[in-house]
Structure 1
């Protein structure tokens, strides 16, 4: 993928996050977003992005610096504790499991790969929301290496195998989109890839949690069948459903942020799927122009896109 297209994917995800922030956790049907707004769920002006984008920026910068897992958690700490990587130097909306991992590392000095909570009730979407850029890093790597890297980048905050499998499914879908497949075909390919997981591991045992994605008619689910909590399975299903049922990038993003529930993260996760499905389209200029602190976003996104673009 060309660097300009990678930059579009990254910018689209950040815009999607900011579009959804004012409606985060509002009930479905209680609001209707048509563009970039402010306040609402959080006392933040229009164009404010949340932890989804802040932690993605940390990931991008760490990749550019060839940083370690420990370095990545240091960046997460600087975000959470000091407001770095935020639009206005103010941290808001830090997920419980991510905050736990940062404290484990910063206060208790736990090694990075042991910081992610491995409890079953810690399967939130805090790793899924930031992991999309790895698809570009891993584009030419064999599947075993893609899985190992996905696991490492997930478990620094989310240690349960279900979260790892969710990250892997998502990145594999992006991998197939990068290879030129459409999303429906990508789902079929990824379903086959998952059969290659070692059946003796805890990861293979978690694949059934995502089975609804691979039924062949998931795109025909009705809106009432789409759950929008912060649970990793719900978020991935909602994001994929949005991308499967969208007819263009703009309307897809608006559908995501109007689902109700954890819509900033659902939209952030859906955005790369949409941007890669509609590579000839770009995020609406008025939405990008409304983003706060665009120089900070581009300070990291532009060199990353240049590094990994064709």
Structure 2
């Protein structure tokens, strides 16, 4: 069965809705905080980080793209993934149901933010997120993401975009698929990989994205992190070309038992410019985290793609512990917090109460204004 067969969640009690909303908020905001912590040191070696910031490395936000707390393309694309998932649910009322198409359209709206000066040219059916002015900023977007989305043709598993690319650009935007808790795991995985090949066609590039979505899915359903990782690995075992992703996750699990966590141990897992390494580092740091602060600082203080590993770790820890685990001072300063809270709450409301918002016969006009069916 392909990704068009997702199942709807059952009836949600009030406590379940509150827990779910907290996990969705935690996932998006935790990822953004990790992203912002790593943004200012993304291209620095560990020795350079220590020379500039002390032996402990960064212990707080540092200036990036003009101020502290700025996020990168990792967070930008994650938000548009959420937007696309909501739009897919809304558009289902029309009888059209192919979520990869809606995600592709959402990511093309992100691509427009990298090309246009601002939201003035956006059409009404682009929805509210595409009109958020702060998103119109280039924050070192990946080449594969830009080239894969530069035209309207959509990559597929049979004909992927950038078939040799296994950069981490598909992994770092894939956490929202895991928040589809009403879907069966195999459908979450399928949707994530169908959307990953729209920019990253190497098996490791898209399978790592699918594995990340599965791990988040397990956490959002209340599983422990190691169990979620092992279940993702079991699912990977049936996929052609899974070996690099599986081996990287196994190394992350093994590293937990090799001694106290250090930046050098993080670096033993790679530099995270490629998908499997970014996933492994994010998973390892979340596994050994004493708390959100400890895990995120470990995830960014290494020589490599610090913002992406911080983002992955933040998505995981935020989903695992919910929004109340987020360090308040970092939360207060992260760029775009109001937008992320609004989007997270919309996503949680759509997934738990969608039939009360829209349907084939009648819909709330305000909701369709935010998430048009077009």
Distance 1:69 1:245, change over 3 A: closer
Q: 1:252: how far off?
A: 0.6
Aligned partners of 1:70 and 1:2: how far apart in 2?
Answer: 26
1:61 maps onto 2:83 in alignment: yes
**SS where residue 144 of structure 2 aligns?**
helix
d(CA) in 1 for partners of 2:206 and 2:338?
A: 32
Once the two structures are TM-superposed, the CA of residue 86 in structure 1 deviates from its matched residue by: 6.6
Q: How does 1:69-80 map to 2 (within 5 A)?
A: 69-80=103-114
- 2:33 pairs with 4, 15, 18, which one? 15
CA contact (8 A) 2:69 2:335 kept: yes
Deviation at 1:95, TM superposition (A): 0.4
CA deviation after TM superposition for structure 1 residue 259, in Å? 1.9
The corresponding residue for 1:48 is 70
In 2, Cα distance between the equivalents of 1:292 and 1:279? 19
Q: How much has 1:58 moved relative to structure 2?
A: 1.1
Q: 1:227: how far off? A: 1.2
Contact 1:69 1:112 in 2 (8 A): no
Report SS of the residue matched to 1:286.
helix
**Does the 8 A contact of 1:10 with 1:301 survive in 2?**
yes
**Contiguous gaps of at least 5 residues in structure 1:** 198-202
**SS of residue paired to 2:66:** coil
Cα separation, 2, equivalents of 1:58 and 1:220 = 37
Give 1:38's aligned residue.
63
Structure 2 residue aligned with 1:28, among 46, 61, 86? 46
C-alpha displacement of 1:235: 0.6
Q: Number of matched residues?
A: 294
My pick for the range that moved more, 46-55 or 206-215, is 206-215
Aligned pairs for 1:143-222 (under 5 A) are 143-195=185-237, 197=238, 203-214=239-250, 217-221=254-258, 222=265
* Residue-by-residue CA offset, 1:37-95 (whole Å, 9 max, x unaligned): 213xxx42112111001111111112222262441242122122126667363222110
Contact 2:189 2:214 in 1 (8 A): no
1:274 aligns with 317
Q: Greater Rg, structure 1 or structure 2? A: 2
Report SS of the residue matched to 1:204.
coil
Indicate conservation of the 8 Å contact 1:173/1:183, yes or no.
yes
Change (3 A) 1:211 1:115: closer
Structure 2: segments with no counterpart, 5+ residues: 1-18, 50-56, 89-100, 119-129, 259-264, 354-374
For the aligned residue pairs, the C-alpha RMSD in angstroms reads 2.4
Residue in structure 2 matched with residue 96 of structure 1 by the alignment: 143
Q: Is the 8 A contact 2:29 2:337 kept in 1?
A: no
Q: What is the TM-score normalised by the length of structure 2?
A: 0.72
Aligned-partner Cα distance in 2 for 1:64–1:88: 19
2:310 and 2:46 map into 1 onto residues whose CA distance is 14
**For residues 69 and 112 of structure 1, what CA distance do their matches in structure 2 show?**
12
TM-score, length-scaled by structure 1: 0.86
Tell me the distance in 2 between the aligned counterparts of 1:159 and 1:174.
22
8 Å CA contact retained: 2:39, 2:71: yes
Work out which of the residue numbers 265, 281, 298 in structure 1 matches 2:308.
Answer: 265
Measured in 2, the distance between the counterparts of 1:303 and 1:3 equals 9
